[in-house]
Amino acid sequence: MESNNIYHYKKNRKQQSKIFINMAVACLIYIAGLYGYEHYLNKTVPENTRNIFIIAFSISSVVLFYVAWWLRAHPANYEAIITVDRFIVKYPDSTHWSFDVKISDIKRFEHRNTLSHAGSGQGASGILLHDGNFHEICMNYGNSINKMYDAIQSIDPNITFPKKVNKKISGLITKDFDN
């Protein structure tokens, strides 16, 4: 880490794969737990329930092991860096979630969501710039938006992070995101 970095977070796909391996092993433990329940307590689970349980957790385990294998077979790094003048996020294989902006261009951090006749949309957290552009900060690699905000706030105390979710509404009532 360079000396002018205020915040630095780095995680690679191999490290991330451990989460998926743990979830796959947990699925296998659930299956073993079912057999243990039947064997040691001399109780039986209805056959349909047992089959669904075993098939669902087996398929889940295979999919999770595959995701872990893919993450290990395709190495890449996620990195978030905050210096005294820049906020940089490098998300592997994604220009949408990667950005490099000046701290002075940041208006605020915020949580966003959309509402429509179909209900609530998928939430997003990120930074709103003075020019109106929004850069989403993806949390897939276990980073903390609050720690990023604290680092940015130590540089520029005027940057805020409201608790209220900024909502865009479409339908009978139309409202864009608040600037």
Cα 31 to Cα 25: distance, rounded to the nearest angstrom: 10
What is the identity of the amino acid at 109? F
pLDDT in tens, 32-49: 999 999 999 999 999 999
Cα 29 to Cα 179: distance, rounded to the nearest angstrom: 49
pLDDT in tens, 52-77: 999 999 999 999 999 999 999 999 99
Q: Residue 28: CB partners within 8 Å, gap ≥ 6? A: 57, 61
Give 173 or 31, the one with higher predicted confidence.
31
CA-derived radius of gyration, the chain:
22
Query: What pLDDT, on the 0 to 100 scale, is given for residue 3?
Result: 62
pLDDT in tens, 117-136: 778 888 999 999 999 999 99
pLDDT > 90? residue 170: no
SS3 content of the chain, % helix, strand, coil (to 5): 40, 30, 30
Considering the entire predicted model, what is its pTM? 0.80
The pLDDT-based confidence of 2 (bands split at 50, 70, 90) is low
Give 173 or 93, the one with higher predicted confidence.
93
| pLDDT (mean) for 151-162 | 95
pLDDT in tens, 94-117: 999 999 999 999 999 999 998 887
The pLDDT-based confidence of 1 (bands split at 50, 70, 90) is very low
Share of the chain above pLDDT 70, in %: 98
DSSP string, 134-174: EEE---TT---HHHHHHHHHHH-TT-B--SSPEEEE-SSS-
